[in-house]
Amino acid sequence: MLVPNYIEINRDQLKWGDIDLQKLIPDTHPARAIWAMSARFNLSIFAEQIRNDEGGRRSWDPRLLFSVWVYGYTLGVASARALERMMAYEPGLRWLCGDQVVNHHTLSDFRISEKAKLEELMSQLMALLDEDQLIDLRTITQDGTKIRAKASKYSFHRLRTIRDRVKVARRVVRQLSEKAEEEAERADERVQAAERRAAEEGLKRMESSLRKLQAEQAKVSPSKQEEVRVSTSEPQARKMKQPDGGWAPSYNVQISTDAKHRMIVGIRVTDSAADVQELKAGVAVVRKWCGRKPKRVLADGGYASRANVEAMDKQRIEFIAPWKDSDSREAGASALAGRAAEFRSSAFQMSSDDRLVCPAGKLLRVIGEHKHHGQNRVIYEADAGDCAGCAMRDGCCGSRRSPRRVDRVKETPAMLAYLARMQKAETQARYKQRSEVAEFPNLWIKSYWGLRRFTLWGKERAAKEAIWAALAYNIQQWTRLKWSPTAG
């Protein structure tokens, strides 16, 4: 019987080999594009803290650290330790680092640089993209997306639990201080300092959670204050509804996108679940980073408010967002007054002589004005005789036995112009491009890269990570639209 003669594998044998770093990746590899773009940045803001020109250990070039992080995010990798491990085998990282390994501590420290420095990088990128004619700003979209915080949903606790933990944290800090005084000569000072620092940071976090919870309790009625919970590991995170219908500790990431080339021209992280208060701040970021304001903003109905209409009008920015229908705004008020839904305020139509016509065809006259929630409102009232003999009285007047009153907001010229603009076919056609533009970067960052949860603790660091994601996204789009290997 013949015995097969197999090739023997010897993994203990040492082998030498030549490595041509330039041939590790093709000329069209994204790492080359990122390295080419990084050369156009002024990174001296990161070199100011380096003081090793006359001796000591050499430092990594900020250009390299910047390129590694941008490349990492385009791979969907947002972990310094993972990037360090990948430098041993991933071709793009091997080429960028010259087949050397950058310590994960160095990478982490660079990523959480001062936010002002990261914003300066974003401003520089906007200028470079503008130079390459990839920033238009005639039309931008504003949209919010929920990205989960690093905190667990099980870190949320009520007032009593947080107070108990604050007491424990204070006791630990006090005991460590007393222990340090007693064992000052025998113990390792570095170990003691590390223990005290960890305990003090824990106490600071617990006290921050307590202040946050007390502030949140002040916003709700006394009967609901007991149910308020705040995270003890990440106080600024709050539970927000997710696309799958569930709830999780999250931040609201506001993204402003240029409609022409779909570049991110502004990004912010907020702990507000609603979008309505975020439009002005979003436009301010665009103006800060790009050096000029947009001409037009497209947003969904979550941003439609009179305050936003007025704010955009003052800046001479055309605001396009669908106005919420009256039914959704008036349903609660009608039910509270005991009226039928068909007799809500919006069912009363305006006549040519500035009076309202009720569903029964009777006229209501103006009897005065008042201010409600900061808005001037005109009060209309029906004639007592018309209501008394009306077959619809019970459904229309509800629990009130007096003649029906209706108040209407006295719209400003800016609001009237906005409402008229939203009725135009041209405006509606423009609005149709909103979802395609606004959701493109959201889909790219969350679905393609998998950044559905921040990897850094706290709102401030989450904001930094959002800027890194925006930098990587824009450079990747620049690579797709503009870069060619022959151009370097």
How far is 379 from 408, CA to CA, in rounded Å? 7
How far is 113 from 65, CA to CA, in rounded Å? 12
The pLDDT tens digits for 227-259 are 889 888 888 888 898 888 888 999 999 999 999
For Cα atoms 94, 100, 103, give the angle at the middle one, nearest 5 degrees.
110
Whole-number pLDDT of residue 182: 66
Pair of tokens at residue 223? 């009967």
**pTM confidence score:** 0.83
| Structural contact between residues 75 and 103, judged by C-beta atoms closer than 8 angstroms | no
Residues 6+ apart with CB under 8 A from 376: 369, 370, 409, 410
Pair of tokens at residue 459? 């709102």
Whole-number pLDDT of residue 242: 84
Whole-number pLDDT of residue 153: 87
| Structural contact between residues 478 and 134, judged by C-beta atoms closer than 8 angstroms | yes
Task: Please give the C-alpha separations between residue 266 and each of 126, 240, 325, 448, in angstroms, as whole numbers.
Answer: 10, 22, 29, 20
Looking at 19-158, list the stretches that DSSP marks H as alpha helix, in order from N- to C-terminal side. Answer: 30-38, 44-47, 62-74, 80-86, 91-96, 104-111, 115-131
Whole-number pLDDT of residue 310: 93
How far is 315 from 311, CA to CA, in rounded Å? 7
The total number of residues written for the chain in this structure: 488
How far is 112 from 460, CA to CA, in rounded Å? 9
How far is 460 from 92, CA to CA, in rounded Å? 30
Q: Is the dihedral of CA 90, 462, 152, 207 positive or negative?
A: positive
Successive 10-residue mean pLDDT values, the chain, 488 residues: 77 79 91 95 82 67 95 95 95 94 94 92 96 95 94 89 89 81 64 82 87 87 88 88 86 96 96 92 96 95 92 95 70 67 80 80 84 78 83 78 80 89 93 92 92 92 95 96 77
